[in-house]
Structure 1
């Protein structure tokens, strides 16, 4: 197994935990099938849309059952550890969602580049990979998706993806380059939440 594949599985698992915690946050008594659906759409919704756009068939979770195994494990882990996480993390949903967003932004960008997409379209597809699973998740939870609110949600993904593309020609080890971009997105997003940073409103 190569590092890209393992990282993709890691991002899938992180988003599966995020989707499960989002469902539990909305309602305390979901059954396991409902939790799996939330985890599934969060984990693979954005990546599936990206693969359809770039015509990368078969979609990865259809051809590789390991993704469904990881999603199931994420659901079980989130349910089993939900009270423990709430004890050590003030906002576990935010942490897992932000980490998954960082991983999938850069993973999606790289997959798009390998498919021959131009760099700036790849940036947008990286954002699609990272955010659209959450959009589907929030819609199912009957909540306004975070991407449509003023808080900085898509902006860290955009900045991290652009920095990643601009620094790609530099002689930086691939792992350091990847982790640096993921860390930039994750750190920027968490700091923006902590500081209450928002984009300026445009009024009609």
Structure 2
């Protein structure tokens, strides 16, 4: 299998994982069928759409509707699974989201890299691809976006994207594997041990 074909299917896998993440949140929020489709779609393609618009590139799913079929299939499989399992733990959603940002960080950075953009832009675009869809998902579901919560989220993507950019000149496949795994492990570690970047410490107003 050629690397281009492999990367294409890895990209579809990332879309599927984020579609599952959106479907799981819709289930937790007791949304109807339309809500499920909206949340699954926005989560899966929102970040990549924003990336392509900013980079002035063709929006990936417009020119390849197979991505929409991937979203629909992933959502349908998740719905069928949930019909036989009446409860889904919050940790499952967090795990799906962590795996999703791992995929999307490296694939977003790869697309910018192949388009000839600088390493810094590649890292930013990878982070945006990973974070923006989930942020839209959480806003539509009236949750605090995960990217704004205490544990490392965007920072994990930035670090994973940096690892990808560093390794890409040697091997794109190795860069995708190591960069993606780095992102996932950092995110899971942050959830497990509450890693965060504390800027403002809690303080009390002295005025009475």
TM-score (norm: length of structure 2): 0.88
Contact 2:98 2:188 in 1 (8 A): yes
- Cα-to-partner distance string for 1:65-119 (whole Å, 9 max, x where unaligned): 21111111111122122365967x7711111111110100010001011112111
Q: Quote the residue 1:95 is aligned against.
A: 95
Instruction: Show structure 2 runs of 5+ residues with no match.
Output: 204-208
Kindly state the Cα deviation for residue 137 of structure 1 after the two structures are TM-superposed. 0.6
Check 1:85–1:105 CA distance in 2 against 1; reply closer, same or farther (3 A cut): farther
Structure 1 Cα separation of the partners of residues 93 and 107 of structure 2:
21
Check 1:162–1:85 CA distance in 2 against 1; reply closer, same or farther (3 A cut): farther
Contact 1:86 1:92 in 2 (8 A): no
Q: Quote the residue 1:20 is aligned against.
A: 23
Rg larger for: 2
Say which SS state the counterpart of residue 112 (structure 1) adopts: helix
Q: Once superposed, what is the RMSD of the aligned Cα atoms?
A: 1.9
Q: Quote the residue 2:120 is aligned against.
A: 120
Q: Quote the residue 1:111 is aligned against.
A: 111
* Residue 7 of structure 2 corresponds to residue 4 of structure 1: yes
Check 1:132–1:200 CA distance in 2 against 1; reply closer, same or farther (3 A cut): same
How many corresponding residue pairs? 198
Instruction: Show structure 1 runs of 5+ residues with no match.
Output: none
- Cα-to-partner distance string for 1:111-145 (whole Å, 9 max, x where unaligned): 01111211101100110001000111111011121
